């Protein structure tokens, strides 16, 4: 399947599901329930649960929920492995680090073993070397855990949605959108906010996942989801997020009002 071909994506993937909520808090509760249920299903099958986290402000409510006892006690921590969909090219203690935000809100409260936390090395220079190192880490992990494939098959990838239609660090007009071989690439984030170089999983990786969940907040982004659903082919020519059409389940959880 060509991840950059909108018509092929549309014809070979199941249709997306959209669930709308009054606000981000309600959408985040649904996301937390979905993550825990997927993790429990993996544990019941006797294999690791692989979750790629999103950065930015939108998932922060979700991470606080997952770290709270009501959800944390249900999460099978022993088989949960956390990865990242993208990262800014900064050290983990930098205020712009997606890992740093996740660590403060989710990782430290959960107390997962270090071996189950697979962060992107944002501080490594040059960024292309950081992307290469993370891809090699992914290849080793998925080979060792009996899910070998041309691209890794995450159990669940959590994504956000930018007002410009970007997701992860797949930005409009980026050459990364045409990537068909690499699992991880470095991108020039000069046009992004903040304007930093970034690392990102590629479209073939996103589209190999068993589950992709977009957590979306606000009326402007809700309208963008509606545009993607209403005319996917047209949206895919403009919005990178519309190119995410996994072979598994695609779910939009939309909080209409932040």
Average pLDDT score over residue span 192-212: 96
19 and 251 in contact (C-beta within 8 Å)?
yes
> What are the Cα distances from residue 220, in Å, to 102, 237, 246, 253?
25, 19, 24, 14
Q: How far apart are CA 51 and CA 43, in angstroms?
A: 13
Could you tell me what percent of the chain has a pLDDT over 70?
A: 93
Average pLDDT score over residue span 100-125: 97
Sequence-ordered list of residues with C-beta below 8 angstroms from that of 57, at least 6 positions apart, any chain:
none
For residue 56, pLDDT over 90 is answered with yes
pLDDT band at 148, cuts 50/70/90?
low
Six-digit token pair at 168? 């992860």
CA nearest neighbour of 130 among 217, 78, 196: 196
Q: What is the pLDDT of residue 88?
A: 98
Q: What is the pLDDT of residue 257?
A: 76
* Cis peptide bond upstream of 201, omega within 30: no
Q: What is the pLDDT of residue 258?
A: 60
For residue 205, pLDDT over 90 is answered with yes
Token pair 């990786």 in the structure block, residue: 205
Q: How far apart are CA 141 and CA 116, in angstroms?
A: 10
Q: Where are the domains of the chain?
A: 22-66+79-109+125-161+175-257
Average pLDDT score over residue span 206-231: 97
Per DSSP, 134 falls in state H
pTM across the whole model? 0.94
For residue 97, pLDDT over 60 is answered with yes
pLDDT band at 17, cuts 50/70/90?
very high
CATH code of the domain occupying 22-66+79-109+125-161+175-257 = 3.40.50.1360
Q: What is the pLDDT of residue 5?
A: 56
Residue burial 63-85, b: 16+ Cβ < 10 Å; e: rest: bebbbeeebbeebeeebbbbbbb
């Amino acid at each position: 399947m060509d991840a950059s071909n909108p018509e092929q994506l549309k014809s070979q993937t199941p249709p997306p599901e959209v669930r709308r909520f009054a606000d981000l808090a309600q959408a985040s509760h649904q996301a937390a329930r979905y993550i825990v249920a997927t993790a429990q299903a993996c544990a019941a099958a006797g294999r690791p649960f692989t979750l790629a986290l999103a950065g930015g402000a939108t998932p922060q409510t979700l991470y606080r929920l997952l770290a709270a006892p009501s959800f944390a006690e249900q999460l099978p921590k022993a088989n949960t492995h956390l990865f990242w969909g993208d990262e800014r090219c900064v050290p983990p203690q930098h205020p712009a680090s997606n890992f740093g935000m996740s660590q403060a809100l989710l990782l430290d409260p959960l107390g997962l073993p270090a071996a189950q936390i697979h962060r992107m090395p944002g501080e490594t220079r040059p960024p292309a070397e950081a992307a290469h190192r993370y891809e090699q880490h992914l290849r080793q992990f998925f080979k060792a855990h009996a899910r070998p494939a041309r691209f890794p098959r995450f159990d669940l990838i959590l994504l956000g949605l930018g007002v410009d239609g970007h997701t992860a660090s797949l930005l409009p007009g980026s050459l990364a959108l045409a990537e068909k071989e690499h699992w991880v690439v470095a991108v020039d984030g000069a046009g992004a906010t903040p304007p930093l170089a970034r690392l990102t999983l590629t479209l073939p990786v996103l589209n190999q996942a068993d589950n992709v969940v977009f957590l979306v907040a606000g009326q402007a982004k809700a309208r963008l989801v509606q545009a993607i659903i209403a005319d996917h082919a047209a949206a895919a020519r403009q919005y990178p997020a519309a190119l995410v059409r996994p072979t598994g389940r695609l779910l939009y959880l939309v909080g209409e009002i932040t």
